[in-house]
């Protein structure tokens, strides 16, 4: 995938190694700061410091008081919920539009995407159903923005899916930075056809049908509907079944080019992947080799083969 300008990702500052936590510590993400950092530009945020809390500082938590949730100290003092919300709205509407993804600090009362603890007023119990006040604003105002938490990035499937969505979203941002028509949208979809197929076959068909019959709609509406459908289709990691189906479709392009032994080798690689015996990069490497030997212009433009830099080795673990 060709990206012509730097990819900007928002990140909780503590994950970038900055000592901004309540205890002057950090929660540095090795993946973000040792691997992904070579391919993206980070924009760092610590909402708690941004609203005026000092370093070090007393811990804060989400506390339910009646029908209201406060973000305050364990004793109920120093509520900064409103300030965190306003700061989140400001970042979401002024800065997040230039971002192609966001990595949040898990379980934080300000930055957690999900499962943030909400304590009762007496402090004797809690539920894990909250969302960080800052993170909520970013996600609410930018529903298509790829977002993930540091802990979940330890899962190879979630990590690969997040990075893939960041690169697709950045490619979309570059496309629509200039005026585009239905032709350009159709070309964009054609390049992402097999990537979508590998995640959601029904969405793959639906998006193609939609663009084929969208000529009568206003182009801005078509753009909004298409990118919403695309990002939703890619929102979850691809299943082994869908990946196998996609690999089999791609294999069909070479049915008249390969020798009997080469066909058997490719079939075996795909089947071993289906059974979980080898990772995805094994059959993909074979397909890419055959594509070099037997060039196909349509396949060569497919984002599925290289959705992000190979140096990240994200398909080695899935």
Residue 89 and residue 292: Cα distance in Å, rounded?
48
- Looking at every residue in the chain, the average pLDDT score rounds to 96
Q: Are 73 and 58 in contact (CB under 8 A)?
A: yes
Rounded to 5°, angle at Cα 50 from 45 and 55? 100
pLDDT band with cut points at 50, 70 and 90 for residue 82: very high
pLDDT over 70 at 1, yes or no: no
**Burial class of residue 276, CB neighbours in 10 A (0-12, 13-18, 19+):** exposed
Segment 204-216, tens digit of pLDDT:
999 999 999 999 9
Q: Are 307 and 168 in contact (CB under 8 A)?
A: yes
* HEC assignment per residue over the chain: CCCCCCCEEEEEHHHHCCCCCCCCCCCCCHHHHHHHHHCCEEEEECHHHHCCCCCCCCCCEEEEECCEEEEECCCCCCCCHHHHHHHHHHHHHHCHHHCCEEEECCCCCCCCCCCEEEEECCCCCEEEEECCHHHHHHHHHCCCCCEEECCHHHCHHHHHHHHHHHHHHHHHHHHHCCCCCHHHHHHHHHHCHHHHHHHCHHHHHHHHHHHHCCCCCCHHHHHHHHHHHHHHHCCCCCCHHHHHHHHHHHHHHHCCCCCHHHHHHHHHHHHHHHCCCCCCHHHHHHHHHHHHHCCCHHHHCCHHHCCCCHHHCHHHCC
Q: Check residue 134 and give its pLDDT.
A: 98
- Pairwise pLDDT comparison (2 vs 118), residue with the higher score: 118
Whole-number Å distance between alpha carbons of 167 and 24: 33
pLDDT digits (tens, 9 = 90+) for 136-177: 999 999 999 999 999 999 999 999 999 999 999 999 999 999
């Amino acid at each position: 995938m060709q990206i012509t300008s730097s990819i900007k990702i928002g990140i909780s500052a503590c994950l970038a190694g900055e000592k901004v936590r309540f205890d002057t510590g950090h929660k540095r993400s090795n993946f973000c700061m040792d691997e992904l950092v070579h391919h993206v530009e980070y924009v760092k945020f610590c909402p708690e410091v941004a609203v005026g809390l000092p370093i070090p500082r007393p811990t804060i938590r989400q506390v339910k008081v009646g029908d209201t949730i406060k973000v305050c100290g364990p004793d109920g003092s120093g509520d900064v919920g409103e300030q965190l919300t306003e700061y989140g709205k400001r970042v979401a509407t002024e800065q997040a539009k230039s971002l192609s993804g966001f990595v949040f600090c898990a379980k934080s009362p300000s930055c957690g995407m999900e499962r943030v603890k909400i304590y009762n007023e007496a402090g004797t119990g809690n539920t894990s159903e909250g969302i960080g006040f800052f993170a909520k604003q970013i996600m609410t105002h930018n529903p298509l923005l790829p977002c993930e938490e540091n802990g979940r990035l330890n899962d190879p499937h979630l990590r690969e899916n997040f990075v893939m969505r960041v690169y697709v979203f950045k490619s979309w941002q570059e496309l629509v930075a200039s005026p585009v028509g239905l032709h350009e949208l159709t070309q964009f979809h054609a390049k992402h056809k097999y990537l979508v197929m590998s995640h959601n076959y029904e969405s793959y068909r639906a998006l193609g049908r939609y663009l084929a019959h969208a000529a009568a709609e206003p182009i801005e509406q078509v753009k909004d509907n298409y990118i919403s459908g695309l990002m939703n289709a890619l929102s979850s990691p691809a299943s082994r079944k869908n990946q196998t189906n996609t690999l089999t479709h791609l294999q069909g392009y070479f049915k008249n080019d390969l020798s009997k032994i080469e066909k058997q080798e490719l079939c075996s690689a795909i089947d071993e992947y289906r059974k979980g015996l080898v990772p995805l990069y094994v059959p993909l490497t074979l397909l890419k080799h055959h594509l070099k030997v037997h060039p196909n212009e349509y396949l060569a433009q497919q984002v599925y083969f290289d959705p992000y830099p190979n140096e990240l080795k994200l398909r080695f673990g899935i």
